[in-house]
Amino acid sequence: MAMRWLLLTLALCLPSIATAAEQEGVPECLGCHTLTADVAVHAVFQTVHGGLGGGGSGSCVSCHGASEEHALDPTAMPGVSFGPRRESAAAERAGACLGCHSGGGALHWAGSEHQREGMVCDSCHDSHRQQDPALTDTQAQQACLSCHTRVQAELLLPSRHPIAEGKTNCGDCHNPHGSLGEASLHQASVNDSCLQCHQEKRGPFLWEHPPAAEDCSLCHRPHGAIHERLLTARGPALCQQCHVAAFHPSLPYGAEGLAGGSGNQNVLGKNCLNCHSQVHGSNHPSGARLTR
Ligand code: HEC
Ligand code: HEC
Ligand code: HEC
Ligand code: HEC
Ligand code: HEC
Ligand code: HEC
Ligand code: HEC
Ligand code: HEC
Ligand code: HEC
Ligand code: HEC
């Protein structure tokens, strides 16, 4: 930091830096923020943003604002400041990006969970890195998990989506900028999210199982679960949440549907799936009971 100050102060003293722009009264950003003084800042020229505003100092102004006061007296802050010493409020900082990015992936930013939590674009994005960390899957995921510790724990459960392994990613299902769907999902519903990759579970089936057509999360957890196949519950218990009154429960029920009583010996203790294997729906002509 001391070195940067020194270089910048030197730059200020050198008459050769007082370029044409100064004749108009305001020195150019790059007159002081030289490559040698601000190597890290200049990485912006290795990104798509380097060409904004015609390139050069024009790019700086596109995000940081005209900043004339600052250019004349560097102790004053620039129009929009993002760094640790920033003076710009959250809305102002986000506004600097939204001027160009209010459409596309960030269309539903306003009112999104992250916006309401006071996060801004630069909470995740760093425009002065050749490779914006938010755009690399592994770094983005680490950032997500640093706040979402419950999800992080779910990724370690015995049954899990291969998220930590990098085969699926938070961004495959969620839009961190918010969406119209629940839980900021890219797709309008949970099912549409799942069916992007598990197309074979998409109906219509000759014999549908209503809960599968309705909501995969009635039986599955999206991130991880203690039961195999990401299931919310094990074996017959899963099915008997809804099929309490089935005439052949695997767990014995009395006439009132309460535990106790006698069960059918053929199914007692058996997993419903032994026979009803097609829980997602069946296309077999005689698959009415989802058995084939
Ligand atoms: C007269 C020299 C000079 C000019 C011209 C200049 N700056 Fe600076 N700027 C500085 C100095 C000195 C600092 C503080 C150095 C540091 O701490 O890194 C600074 C800091 C900054 C910061 C960081 C503020 C923070 O958050 O701490 C930004 C952003 C910035 N300048 C943008 C600009 C922009 C945009 C322009 C052109 C409109 C510009 N500067 C023109 C000298 C200048
Ligand atoms: C695409 C928008 C964008 C452009 C273009 C841009 N900046 Fe920045 N700048 C940012 C953001 C965002 C940060 C905060 C980065 C972070 O989170 O560390 C920042 C931070 C800075 C800082 C403070 C660094 C620190 O460590 O505190 C300086 C100085 C700076 N920019 C100068 C410039 C200059 C000079 C230019 C033109 C060469 C420029 N910026 C172009 C968005 C931009
Ligand atoms: C003056 C307009 C402008 C401003 C201001 C601006 N951007 Fe951009 N940004 C662009 C353009 C143009 C592109 C390239 C085309 C595209 O992807 O939309 C881009 C691309 C991006 C990308 C994708 C980069 C890539 O490599 O694919 C990200 C991320 C991004 N901007 C974030 C930001 C953030 C964060 C800010 C505020 C700190 C910001 N932008 C400010 C115009 C702007
Ligand atoms: C919670 C972290 C986070 C925040 C906050 C965030 N982004 Fe992003 N952004 C990402 C990630 C991760 C990606 C990579 C693409 C993806 O997974 O959807 C991305 C991608 C982008 C892209 C390029 C692809 C696209 O979706 O168009 C742009 C542009 C962008 N962000 C702009 C913004 C702007 C503008 C803001 C502030 C209004 C912002 N981001 C806030 C995490 C974030
Ligand atoms: C700085 C902390 C922080 C970071 C980083 C962060 N989040 Fe969040 N996120 C929150 C908070 C706080 C909430 C609101 C409370 C909650 O649901 O946990 C939230 C909410 C969410 C929600 C629920 C949204 C809704 O509409 O219900 C999703 C999904 C989400 N974040 C995904 C992500 C993803 C993906 C990333 C990485 C790209 C990420 N978050 C990065 C703090 C963070
Ligand atoms: C395979 C798709 C998928 C992936 C990958 C995924 N999620 Fe989710 N996530 C969902 C679904 C679906 C929900 C909604 C669950 C519900 O409504 O029952 C959800 C809910 C959430 C929520 C809000 C509710 C909660 O459980 O706290 C957060 C936060 C969240 N996810 C964060 C993340 C993060 C962080 C990652 C990456 C590490 C991630 N998700 C990866 C599908 C996914
Ligand atoms: C981005 C693609 C993607 C999306 C979206 C997705 N999955 Fe997956 N899913 C995978 C991959 C990859 C595997 C691992 C397959 C393998 O290892 O053979 C998997 C495996 C599974 C498994 C089997 C787990 C096991 O232990 O064998 C279940 C159940 C599952 N997904 C349910 C869902 C549900 C429910 C959703 C919606 C919330 C969903 N998936 C969304 C890619 C995805
Ligand atoms: C009624 C409960 C239930 C619903 C609803 C449900 N599943 Fe399943 N799913 C199961 C069971 C039980 C298994 C385990 C089957 C086995 O081990 O043979 C399973 C297994 C899977 C598997 C891994 C094995 C395979 O068959 O590929 C995937 C992937 C899967 N489900 C995706 C989905 C998707 C996507 C949805 C929503 C469209 C969904 N499931 C809805 C109960 C359900
Ligand atoms: C979320 C509630 C729910 C869960 C959990 C559930 N089902 Fe269903 N199931 C239904 C509904 C609703 C129907 C349609 C009932 C009807 O048409 O009368 C149905 C129908 C069936 C049918 C066909 C019955 C018929 O009359 O054609 C079978 C077989 C079946 N389920 C087996 C299972 C099995 C096996 C499981 C566990 C893997 C399971 N179900 C889990 C709600 C559920
Ligand atoms: C030993 C094989 C077997 C097992 C185990 C089994 N079922 Fe069945 N189930 C069948 C057969 C065969 C039928 C069709 C009977 C018929 O059509 O008369 C059936 C019919 C059904 C029906 C439709 C009932 C109706 O009223 O039409 C439901 C619902 C059902 N089973 C749910 C379950 C549930 C829930 C479990 C686990 C608790 C289970 N089954 C375990 C073989 C089995």
Q: Do 212 and 263 sit in the same domain of this protein?
A: yes
Report whether residue 272 contacts ligand 8, using a CB cutoff of 6 Å. Answer: no
Residues 6+ apart with CB under 8 A from 54: none
Compute the distance from residue 117 Cα to the ligand 1 centre, in Å. Answer: 29
Q: Where is pLDDT greater, at 264 or 96?
A: 96
In this structure, is residue 61 part of a structural domain?
Answer: yes
Compute the distance from residue 23 Cα to the ligand 10 centre, in Å. Answer: 88
User: CB–CB of 83/1 below 8 Å?
Assistant: no
User: Which among 281, 153, 160 is positioned nearest to 229, based on CA atoms?
Assistant: 160
For residue 106, pLDDT over 60 is answered with yes
In this structure, is residue 60 part of a structural domain?
Answer: yes
For residue 132, pLDDT over 90 is answered with yes
**Token pair 């495959």 in the structure block, residue:** 172
Question: 252 preceded by cis ω (within 30°)?
Answer: no
Nearest CA owner, ligand 8 atom 36: 216
Compute the distance from residue 60 Cα to the ligand 7 centre, in Å. Answer: 43
Q: Do 243 and 178 sit in the same domain of this protein?
A: no
CA of 114: how far to CAs of 12, 123, 153, 233, 263, in Å? 41, 10, 21, 31, 51
Total structural domains within the chain: 3
Report whether residue 109 contacts ligand 4, using a CB cutoff of 6 Å. Answer: yes
In this structure, is residue 133 part of a structural domain?
Answer: yes
Q: How many CB atoms lie within 10 A of CB 282?
A: 21
In this structure, is residue 141 part of a structural domain?
Answer: yes
Compute the distance from residue 258 Cα to the ligand 8 centre, in Å. Answer: 27
Q: Do 224 and 166 sit in the same domain of this protein?
A: no
Q: Do 215 and 259 sit in the same domain of this protein?
A: yes
Compute the distance from residue 127 Cα to the ligand 2 centre, in Å. Answer: 7
Q: Residue 119 sits in which domain range?
A: 102-184
Residues 6+ apart with CB under 8 A from 221: 154, 230, 231, 232
Report whether residue 211 contacts ligand 8, using a CB cutoff of 6 Å. Answer: yes
In this predicted structure, what is the pLDDT of residue 45?
Answer: 97
Choosing from 184, 212, 229, the residue where a domain stops is 184
Choosing from 157, 184, 211, the residue where a domain stops is 184
Task: Give the whole-angstrom CA distance, residue 77 versus residue 74.
Answer: 7
In this structure, is residue 44 part of a structural domain?
Answer: yes
Q: Which of 157, 159, 161, 201 is the pocket-test mutation for ligand 7 (most atoms within 8 Å of CB)?
A: 161
As for ligand 2, residues whose beta carbon falls within 6 Å of it are 29, 33, 41, 44, 49, 52, 59-60, 62-64, 82-84, 122, 126-128
In this structure, is residue 14 part of a structural domain?
Answer: yes
Q: Do 209 and 264 sit in the same domain of this protein?
A: yes
Query: Which range, of 8-12, 28-32, 54-58, 149-153, averages the lowest pLDDT?
Result: 8-12
For residue 256, pLDDT over 60 is answered with no
For residue 246, pLDDT over 90 is answered with no
In this structure, is residue 192 part of a structural domain?
Answer: no
Choosing from 72, 91, 118, the residue where a domain stops is 72
Instruction: Report which DSSP code applies to 105.
Output: G
Compute the distance from residue 158 Cα to the ligand 10 centre, in Å. Answer: 29
In this predicted structure, what is the pLDDT of residue 249?
Answer: 58
pLDDT digits (tens, 9 = 90+) for 220-237: 999 999 999 999 998 888
pLDDT digits (tens, 9 = 90+) for 137-192: 889 999 999 999 999 999 999 999 999 888 999 999 999 999 999 999 999 999 99
In this structure, is residue 92 part of a structural domain?
Answer: no
Q: Do 267 and 207 sit in the same domain of this protein?
A: yes
Q: Tell me the average pLDDT of the chain.
A: 87
Compute the distance from residue 101 Cα to the ligand 3 centre, in Å. Answer: 7
Task: Give the whole-angstrom CA distance, residue 134 versus residue 139.
Answer: 7
Task: Give the whole-angstrom CA distance, residue 256 versus residue 244.
Answer: 10
Query: Which range, of 57-61, 254-258, 264-268, 284-288, averages the lowest pLDDT?
Result: 254-258
Q: How many CB atoms lie within 10 A of CB 84?
A: 5
- pTM score: 0.92
Number of residues that this document lists for the chain: 292
Q: What is the 3-state secondary structure (H, E, C) of 164-219?
A: CCCCCCHHHHECCCCCCCHHHECCCCHHHHHHCCCHHHCCCCCECCHHHHHCHHHC
Q: Which of 238, 239, 241, 248 is the pocket-test mutation for ligand 10 (most atoms within 8 Å of CB)?
A: 248
